[in-house]
A = this chain, B = another copy of it.
Amino acid sequence: GYAEIGVFGGDDVDTQFHNDIVINVNMSGSTDNGLEFGAKVQFDDTNGSSNINGWPRYDDEAVWVSGSFGKVTLGETDGAYDWALSEIYMGTSLFDDHSTHAGAYWFTGADGWYDNQVMRYEYSFGDFAAGISAEMDDTGTGDTIMAIGVKWSGNMGGVDLGVGLGYQSANSMDAVGLSLSAAMANGVNVTAGYADDEFWGGEWWGLGVGYTAGALLVQANYGEWDYGDSGWGLVANYDLGGGAVAMFGYGSSSSGSGGSFNGNGDDTWSAGLGLSF
């Protein structure tokens, strides 16, 4: 399980208390001849952080089977485009203020346009991994959304590098993306991303610079869309041990389209504890 306690605010909301509890159910097993399988589902409430009780909701429901042939995942899982590409964001905050400003992007592509039932096959060989995925329109109207992706990770001269490349296509639209990350031994992290995603509205690039030292993590990021929106974010996390993390997030949006994706306005922030059990 995971719980949060804290305070949040922004230009479009009153500064207020926040608490939230998510329960994760993870199950796994293996067959007599070594096939592994598992399933996961989350219970999350639907009422946001400021309502009485609320209804639990299934989220993130997926089932997987893996073996020497690779791994097949079916359900609410990343398509191969999103799977191959790494977000530029580090750390967490109560309202993801740092990663939901108007200049943010998560390599989502067309995932979830239909029923969010994605079938992804992936295979790893050494430092490389490749995946393909499909999401069908069960009404039979639209194209099946197809995606492919490759990623590589390795160490060069003491720097941990990661590169991802993805492509997704359906209904005469497509998305192509590239992600890069470099983690240096001195604690400095640089992340960069580029995408031309017609499903999300255009061309985007983003950059993040972070630093980790012991229990501390800080990162600043900037991103912009060619349709004009941009934004920057800042996050600080301090690991208190035992599953408790102190979290602060801030996001600033320059946009004609309504501020942060988290709904709290152009300048949003949150501070509190994230508790994992």
Contacts and interface: CB of A to CB of B under 8 A. Distances in A.
A192 to B, nearest CB: 31
A244 B17 contact: no
Contacts of A190: none
A60 B38 CA distance: 24
Contact of A29 (B58, B65, B136, B243): B243
Contacts of A240: 31-33, 35
A63 B273 CA distance: 10
Interface in A46-67: 49-65
A117 B19 contact: yes
A112 B72 CA distance: 39
Interface in A9-49: 13-14, 16-17, 19, 21, 23, 25, 27-33, 35, 37-39, 41, 43, 45, 49
B31 A241 contact: yes
Interface in A251-277: 273, 275-277
Contact of A61 (B19, B39, B138): B19
A74 interface: yes
Interface string A104-126: 00000000100111010000000
Contacts of A35: 240, 244
A61 B76 contact: no
A138 to B, nearest CB: 5
Given A5-B63, A56-B58, A242 B32 contact: yes
A14 B115 contact: no
B29 A116 contact: no
A52 B115 contact: yes
A14 B115 CA distance: 13
A4 B64 CA distance: 9
Given A19-B74, A50-B115, A55-B58, A1 B29 contact: no
Given A27-B1, A45-B58, A138-B16, A115 B51 contact: yes
Interface string A73-93: 011100000000000000000
Contacts of A32: 240-242
A173 interface: no
7 contacts: A5-B64, A14-B139, A14-B140, A21-B61, A29-B276, A45-B61, A53-B116
Given A19-B62, A43-B56, A56-B57, 15 more contacts: A5-B75, A14-B140, A16-B117, A17-B119, A19-B61, A23-B25, A29-B276, A32-B242, A33-B241, A35-B240, A37-B244, A37-B273, A52-B115, A54-B61, A56-B58
